[in-house]
Structure 1
Amino acid sequence: MISLVLVLGLVLSACGGGGSGSNGEAGTGTTGGNSSGGKTEAATELTVAYITFGNTPTDLQAVQDELSKLTKEKINATVKLLPIGIGAWNQQMNLMLTSNEKLDLIVTGSSPTLGYAPQVAKGQLLPLDDLLEQYGQGIKTAVGEEFVKASSIGGKIYAVPSIRDLALNYGVLIRKDLADKYGIDAAKINSIDALEDMMKIMKEKEPNMAVIAPGTAGASIAEYLYKLDKLGDGYGVLLNNGQDDLKVVNYYETQEYADLLKRIRGWYQAGYILKDAATNKESIADLIKAGRTAAYVANLKPGIEMQESRLVGTTIAKGEITEPVAKTETVTNIMWGIPRNATNPEASMKFLNLMYSDKDVINLIDWGIEGKHYVKTDQENVIKYADGVDANNSGYNPNTGWLFGNQFMSYTFEGDNPDIWKETDEFNKNATKSKALGFTFDSASVKTEYASVTNVLNQYRLGLETGTLDPDKTLPEFISKLKAAGIEKIVAEKQKQLDAWAAAK
């Protein structure tokens, strides 16, 4: 019997071919269906959590199934997509990370909502240096060494940025039909004063509609009008986009902030701002479609008008209020990390690598299923909606290509500039650079104060920055509670780290 088993084992081993052949070498990160000896390994299921800005697409399951077919063939893993609304993200992600719920890959970032620094301080994200070296060469090639290291905290990389617009400017996006109807030239809305003039005209003509809303649920009006380098989180900033010096200040107690809040309060009282802007959970697309608002303040980039026009279902025009600036936070505001409770970090990194190096994977995630959600045109890498499909009835139309991996591999949509990714690359390179570009704050030594300050901000910031709360009454209380929570200790620690970074540089 023993001899028979040994012979049978040799035969099976010969048939299996040692796990190589058409699938390539097992464990390289490009394939992985078989292990040595020919034994088929069970596919790893990867739970991938990311933010959304509207309802879950009705065809998400179909896209997920097609994606899993690709990833099972390439890395022997299937993918479970877990979209979470931006308004619920912070609370739900904190709960999932602290309860060790299954998570294999998550969106993270430098904003308080995405909470990259606190996640690192709490030990919730894995260091990626070794995983990147072994399974993430596609990421390193696509992103570039400088930007890969931009997220480093304590000398280790815990997340990698998506490839997209890595600089930003702020402005307003407005329904073009209404702008044309009332003689408003969107391109001339190039300052806060011009924005206010537009809102006055629009309110007179459309008294039953809010003129502006924040660009995303959970955001404010003021944050799209800042001229700061927030140094990752806003808890200690550089004024004037980091162009003057490396003096870290508490922005919330500056006269500049007080003046901005006072102005926004006046807009709210005049009926310009969406009344429930501080608590609204609806996406901007839903607000525009329902006729609740005519315009919104937002991050801008090349091609933003076409992207937003598809998203909201009507033509959008833009006005640029600030100049493009590149800061660490513009690189690190959208990144991908592997939670410490990931079941198979190697498989997580292999899938992440596909998002930066595999055109089939990224276009499936970005655009859905060819023939069902889109079709190719005669132009190379240009697509359009499939027959009978448009922005309003598509079962998969997330318009969040900037979120997933390497957007520069994504198809462009018919009507968009086919050279949009070339222009975006130039936009990144030509933007003004903050003097602190490349600095990332390590909040580990002030994590108690960080948590307390975050709680205070969550209590006051949106109300103040949407005009809902009266700054004359509430701002002094807000500043007092920030100080009691320890913001001055955070500012001092950030200044210390920034000075050390600058000296080393």
Structure 2
Amino acid sequence: MNIKLRSCKSRFAGGMALLLLASSAPAAVNAASGGQAQAPVTLTMYYPGTESPDEAVVEEAINHYLNMKIGVSLDLRPYDWANYNNKIKVMIAAGEPMDLFFTAGWLNFKQFADINVLRDLTPLLARYAPDMMKTMNPLYLKGTAINGRNYAVPTQMNNVTWKGLLINKQLADKYHFDIAGIKKLSDLEPMLKVIKAKESKATPLFGKIADFEGLASYQKLAPDSPGSLMPGGGTKVANEFASPAMSSLLAQYYRWTTKGYIVPSRQAFNSFQDQTLFSSQASVQTFAVLTSSANYDTASQLQTATGQSWLEVRLQAPLITNENLTAGMLSVSSLSKHAEDAVRVINLLHANKKLLDLLDWGIAGTHYRADAGSPGMITPIGKGYATSGPWMFGNPGLTYHTKADAADPNIWARGKKIFDKAALSPVIGLYYDPAPNAESNQAVNSLISNFNANMDRAPQDPATALPKLQSRLKQAGIAGVIADKQRQVDAYLTEKHKLAVQQQALAQ
């Protein structure tokens, strides 16, 4: 698992001058009739997290600020992570008029949009979120739109994914390794040999079988599911398990386990990040980590978790996918009676540091204090208030950070530079639907899952294991899965082209 950085009406009646003021004046100033003062609109805001002892105090401070800015109040409704998704589904089924609520690609965003649970925000954003629209990279909204419509606003996390290695700098410096000379995975082997021979307590490489497999493709279209876009940037879907690259990578994995460079018993967790967070093995030194899902800040996160510096070796360039753009989003319920106000709050969360600091960290001097040695960094005080961190809301680059979520105070600025230059998936905006071929999808996914679990626990020679897997995948219907993925990719690209033509015609 990637560590995450755990780190919204005023309407005026009358002439044109009052209409021009409506986008910025607080709702409490005038009523629609007679200039009578109105109570601020209160919006419910649901998100995953733990209710804090000082939540009411922080909410009061947030609302004092929001009332002055836009005449709106927030009723914060955090629910613990284990129950949040079910809670939202129950409220949707009951027809509860939620205003703002957190969603994501991995939290039913596409499904909710398809069944009209989410308000179409497209016509509201330019009018009620002007500050955000001026500063946000257009890719965030373009890349998360469904058929050209925006049903949620993504958090500006500058999230990209790359595949490659993280190298322990201390050990690399000790043995004068030429890290810049690593251009392909096999270039690592001489270094692993040295570490194995001279560092008896160190693990030469943490590398799960799935990370080796990840290097064989350019982009998976669904987690744990064969049928991917292959290196080269095209849109042809192929069975990566039938590729020469896969055979070579699995052979390398097996060879390195037999040589003791990879130690299965030291890889009980799904990722090295998990291990450093949740295992006593975090104190065991590791030289290299293979990952197929690193982000721009993974090295910084590992430094925080392990106390050691890590060097990045990218074997595939940073790529922006749906998963990156939809990792954290705020939606407005289609039943909300205050959608305009909700979008105003979203606007502030993307443009107003004061509001973000209050929501993310609480009250200065009570819940955190500034870190005198690192501008922009803070140290939490006590346990009176806490959220899951700045990654969840608005523009995290505006708010404070702690050493627990950013060892380097400049990491967010560097992340933005990487995001702005990263390659964009050719199928950004495509959400693969396994339902048309559900039985075969389930069967092949189960085969891959079992194969990987067995290879991680007790590695087998892929010269015999891979042909057996291919035979079972064929019987389970992998050809149909690949064909259906290709059909969905082709249909998406055709629709995307039609939409672009329509938008161009409207702009002329």
Shared topology, TM-score over 0.5? yes
User: 1:448, CA displacement in angstroms?
Assistant: 2.0
Match of 2:154 among 155, 161, 182: 161
Alignment-derived partner of residue 398 in structure 2: 409
* Structure 1 residues 478 and 166: CA distance shift in structure 2, 3 A: same
* Structure 1 residues 149 and 430: CA distance shift in structure 2, 3 A: closer
Instruction: State the TM-score, normalized to the length of structure 1.
Output: 0.69
Separation in 1, partners of 2:387, 2:442: 31
User: 1:108, CA displacement in angstroms?
Assistant: 1.0
Question: Contact 2:360–2:389 (CA<8 Å) still a contact in 1?
Answer: yes
Match of 1:425 among 407, 416, 424: 416
Question: Contact 2:169–2:310 (CA<8 Å) still a contact in 1?
Answer: yes
User: 1:456, CA displacement in angstroms?
Assistant: 4.5
Alignment-derived partner of residue 477 in structure 1: 472
Question: Contact 1:150–1:331 (CA<8 Å) still a contact in 2?
Answer: no
* Structure 1 residues 397 and 45: CA distance shift in structure 2, 3 A: closer
Match of 1:309 among 303, 310, 321: 303
Alignment-derived partner of residue 69 in structure 2: none
Cα-to-partner distance string for 1:352-409 (whole Å, 9 max, x where unaligned) = 33321121232345555533564335689522436xx7xxx98888885444321221
Question: Contact 2:299–2:310 (CA<8 Å) still a contact in 1?
Answer: yes
1:493 aligns with 2:488: yes
SS of corresponding position for 2:146: coil
Alignment-derived partner of residue 15 in structure 1: none
Alignment-derived partner of residue 349 in structure 1: 343
User: 1:153, CA displacement in angstroms?
Assistant: 1.8
User: 1:288, CA displacement in angstroms?
Assistant: 6.7
Alignment-derived partner of residue 215 in structure 2: 225
Alignment-derived partner of residue 38 in structure 1: 37
1:127 aligns with 2:116: no
Alignment-derived partner of residue 5 in structure 1: none
Alignment-derived partner of residue 106 in structure 1: 102
Mapping 1:314-463, distance limit 5 Å: 314-329=307-322, 332-338=325-331, 340=333, 346=339, 348-367=342-361, 369-371=363-365, 374-377=368-371, 381-385=375-379, 401-411=390-400, 419-434=410-425, 436=426, 439-441=428-430, 443=432, 448-449=435-436, 452=439, 455-456=442-443, 459-463=446-450
* Structure 1 residues 69 and 326: CA distance shift in structure 2, 3 A: same
* Structure 1 residues 336 and 266: CA distance shift in structure 2, 3 A: farther
Identity of aligned residues (%): 17
Separation in 2, partners of 1:68, 1:451: 48
Cα-to-partner distance string for 1:312-368 (whole Å, 9 max, x where unaligned) = 151231232324334443652424142757656625434433321121232345555
Separation in 1, partners of 2:187, 2:206: 14
Match of 2:74 among 66, 77, 94: 77
Question: Contact 1:67–1:79 (CA<8 Å) still a contact in 2?
Answer: yes
Alignment-derived partner of residue 145 in structure 1: 138
Match of 1:468 among 453, 456, 467: 456
Alignment-derived partner of residue 48 in structure 1: 47
Question: Contact 2:348–2:355 (CA<8 Å) still a contact in 1?
Answer: yes
* Structure 1 residues 330 and 448: CA distance shift in structure 2, 3 A: closer
Separation in 1, partners of 2:248, 2:204: 22
Separation in 1, partners of 2:360, 2:419: 21
* Structure 1 residues 397 and 267: CA distance shift in structure 2, 3 A: farther
Mapping 1:208-219, distance limit 5 Å: 211-212=205-206
* Structure 1 residues 115 and 232: CA distance shift in structure 2, 3 A: farther
Question: Contact 2:303–2:309 (CA<8 Å) still a contact in 1?
Answer: yes
List gaps (5 residues or longer) in structure 1.
Answer: 1-17, 20-24, 51-55
* Structure 1 residues 115 and 484: CA distance shift in structure 2, 3 A: farther
User: 1:166, CA displacement in angstroms?
Assistant: 4.7
Separation in 1, partners of 2:489, 2:320: 16
User: 1:263, CA displacement in angstroms?
Assistant: 4.0
Separation in 2, partners of 1:411, 1:441: 34
Question: Contact 1:250–1:491 (CA<8 Å) still a contact in 2?
Answer: no
Question: Contact 2:154–2:327 (CA<8 Å) still a contact in 1?
Answer: yes
Separation in 2, partners of 1:252, 1:49: 37
The count of aligned residue pairs is: 456
SS of corresponding position for 2:238: coil
Question: Contact 2:390–2:401 (CA<8 Å) still a contact in 1?
Answer: no
Question: Contact 1:325–1:432 (CA<8 Å) still a contact in 2?
Answer: yes
Question: Contact 1:374–1:385 (CA<8 Å) still a contact in 2?
Answer: yes
Question: Contact 2:206–2:267 (CA<8 Å) still a contact in 1?
Answer: no
Question: Contact 1:63–1:369 (CA<8 Å) still a contact in 2?
Answer: no
Deviates more, 1:145-154 or 1:29-38: 29-38
Separation in 2, partners of 1:64, 1:210: 49
Separation in 1, partners of 2:220, 2:165: 21
Separation in 2, partners of 1:399, 1:195: 37
Alignment-derived partner of residue 66 in structure 1: 58
User: 1:457, CA displacement in angstroms?
Assistant: 6.5
* Structure 1 residues 309 and 107: CA distance shift in structure 2, 3 A: farther
Separation in 1, partners of 2:94, 2:137: 32
User: 1:257, CA displacement in angstroms?
Assistant: 3.8
Cα-to-partner distance string for 1:68-95 (whole Å, 9 max, x where unaligned) = 631464131122233526xx98x85896
User: 1:228, CA displacement in angstroms?
Assistant: 1.1
List gaps (5 residues or longer) in structure 2.
Answer: 1-11, 14-19, 67-71, 502-508
Question: Contact 1:452–1:486 (CA<8 Å) still a contact in 2?
Answer: no
* Structure 1 residues 227 and 105: CA distance shift in structure 2, 3 A: same
Question: Contact 1:29–1:350 (CA<8 Å) still a contact in 2?
Answer: no
Separation in 2, partners of 1:468, 1:151: 35
Question: Contact 1:167–1:428 (CA<8 Å) still a contact in 2?
Answer: yes
Cα-to-partner distance string for 1:114-137 (whole Å, 9 max, x where unaligned) = 554444445554432134245333
SS of corresponding position for 2:135: helix
Alignment-derived partner of residue 237 in structure 2: 248
Separation in 2, partners of 1:399, 1:183: 40
Alignment-derived partner of residue 10 in structure 1: none
Separation in 1, partners of 2:470, 2:172: 35
Separation in 2, partners of 1:284, 1:320: 20
* Structure 1 residues 324 and 442: CA distance shift in structure 2, 3 A: closer
Question: Contact 1:303–1:417 (CA<8 Å) still a contact in 2?
Answer: no
User: What amino acid maps onto 1:40 in structure 2?
Assistant: A
Q: What value does the CA root-mean-square deviation take over the aligned residues?
A: 4.9
User: What amino acid maps onto 2:47 in structure 1?
Assistant: V
Cα-to-partner distance string for 1:253-280 (whole Å, 9 max, x where unaligned) = 4443454445445556755354434599
Alignment-derived partner of residue 22 in structure 1: none
SS of corresponding position for 1:322: strand
User: What amino acid maps onto 1:108 in structure 2?
Assistant: A
Match of 1:272 among 263, 278, 282: 263
User: What amino acid maps onto 2:354 in structure 1?
Assistant: D
